[in-house]
Amino acid sequence: MLRPIKIIALSSFVSVSVIGMILYAMSSKPKRNWIITSGNEGGKYQEVANALGDVLSKQGEREFEVLTSLGSHQNLEALAKGKADLALVQNDISSAEDAHSLAILYEEALHLIVRKEINSALQLNGSVIAIGTQSGGTEGMAKATLAHLGINPASFSREPLDESLNKLANGELDCVCVVTGVGNSTLKKHLAKGKLALLPIGSNPYENLKLSYPFIQPSNIPSGAYPSHSGDRLPRDSIPTIGTRVVLVCSPALEEEDAYEMSRSIDSAQAKLTKAHPLFAQISNPTETLLQHPLHEGARLFFERTKPNFFQEWADTIALVFSLIAVTWGAAKAMSQIYLKRMKDSLDKFFAKVDAITSELIEGVDEERANEIARELHDIRRETTQKLIAEELGADDSFVIFQRQLHTAQQLVNESLRKARSPSPFAE
């Protein structure tokens, strides 16, 4: 039964390949590699940039080269000097040089790491605190938060994260501040040794800082996000904090067509990107109110769909391709139905769990139940990610929608915890 299907599929593949070669020959625009500047070696920015480059290289006409850097400021400098085409930057970071946005990739949170014997922010007065390299993006948010908490350090230290954490463990520093995606591999490595801990901020500074720092946002480090030496997960309870978005930016000189194609490629590849790195589940359409750097006109055209897309431009050729593919569609659909239904049924169970949790949060819960729910949501995110990697769930639009539902539930539980921990205005 499979033999005729294979023959038809091979014929269709040959036909599509021939058409593809014709389209390639018709394109006269020279192709070159895209250079992405990311972050420190082994850091979250490099992980994300590598995943982005790998996925887009496989589905596009260009290859991507990833450069390491010291962080957002250096990335913006690389764009300004023409050393990179694209860059990952924190959305709260501005520069004298212009940069234009292409996509919002994911969210980052401010982490405060201390030795285990420190359990209060007040113990950090007169201390030595690391705030990242001068080219990174942590310094501004860290200093503002420390001031909000009433902490007056004796001095600041500026070096890469791995070096700072080693000094912290050796007693040469008292605290390390870093703005990064939850689950940073360097933090995982050092927290697992058992000498360090995540410091609860206590009072979320967002409401106090949002007017002077409009591109920050409330954030949360969920319970169990990091390993510990004892085998438990850290933190024990979720930590409300502040954060920002990581944005893919480019030079204003990038051609409109290229910016349009880049935004289109990221949008169409989100499911594949999410499978390559879970943080890509947070990709969202950029809007001017969310962006420090203005949206590139090419990206705007894509998101507003005012320019004919690829399918419209090559309608006749695409019709020919689809006519060839349609020959194999019926058989392929029948063979895949059972597999797809099994994955859908599995994902539906998680949808139901999160929906029930969301309803409970909307009705209102106390602090104890909110903490339980935060742990439940973390377990759900971990289990679904493991199933995605094991291909027991599909990296499709349904999974992306589920991730957004999970994110909404996490925001609701964070708000419940904030309200529960806020003192009553009528308290004596």
End-to-end Cα, the chain, rounded Å: 79
Q: Report d(CA 270, CA 193) in Å as an integer.
A: 35
The torsion defined by the Cα of 376, 218, 74 and 199, in degrees rounded to 10, comes to -60
- Per-residue pLDDT at 54: 93
Cβ atoms of 88 and 76 closer than 8 Å? no
- C-alpha distances out from residue 226 to 164, 194, 235, 393, 428, Å: 18, 11, 7, 24, 38
- Per-residue pLDDT at 137: 83
What is the three-class DSSP state of 86?
strand
Q: Which of 117, 230, 107, 240 is nearest to 171 (CA)?
A: 117
DSSP structural state of residue 278: G
Cβ atoms of 422 and 240 closer than 8 Å? no
What phi and psi values does residue 283 have, to the nearest 5 degrees?
-55, 135
- Per-residue pLDDT at 426: 45
Q: Which of 182, 181, 400 is nearest to 285 (CA)?
A: 400
pLDDT tens-digit profile, the chain (428 residues): 444 455 555 556 655 565 666 555 545 455 568 999 998 888 889 999 999 999 999 887 689 999 999 888 899 999 989 999 999 999 888 765 679 999 999 999 999 999 999 988 889 999 999 998 887 888 988 998 898 888 999 999 999 899 999 999 999 999 999 999 898 889 999 999 989 999 988 767 788 888 777 788 888 999 999 988 877 888 988 998 889 999 999 988 899 999 999 999 999 999 999 999 999 999 987 776 678 888 999 999 998 874 455 665 666 676 666 676 776 666 666 666 776 677 777 788 888 888 888 888 888 888 888 888 888 888 888 888 888 888 888 778 888 888 888 888 888 888 888 887 776 554 44
Cβ atoms of 335 and 385 closer than 8 Å? no
- Per-residue pLDDT at 1: 42
Q: Which of 388, 386, 383, 380 is nearest to 410 (CA)?
A: 380
Cβ atoms of 252 and 100 closer than 8 Å? yes
DSSP structural state of residue 199: P
Cβ atoms of 85 and 75 closer than 8 Å? no
Instruction: Supply the CATH classification number for the domain 108-246.
Output: 3.40.190.10
Cβ atoms of 262 and 102 closer than 8 Å? yes
* Residues shown for the chain: 428
- Per-residue pLDDT at 50: 95
Q: Report d(CA 164, CA 114) in Å as an integer.
A: 11
DSSP structural state of residue 295: B
What is the three-class DSSP state of 302?
helix
Instruction: Supply the CATH classification number for the domain 2-104+247-310.
Output: 3.40.190.10
- Per-residue pLDDT at 32: 63
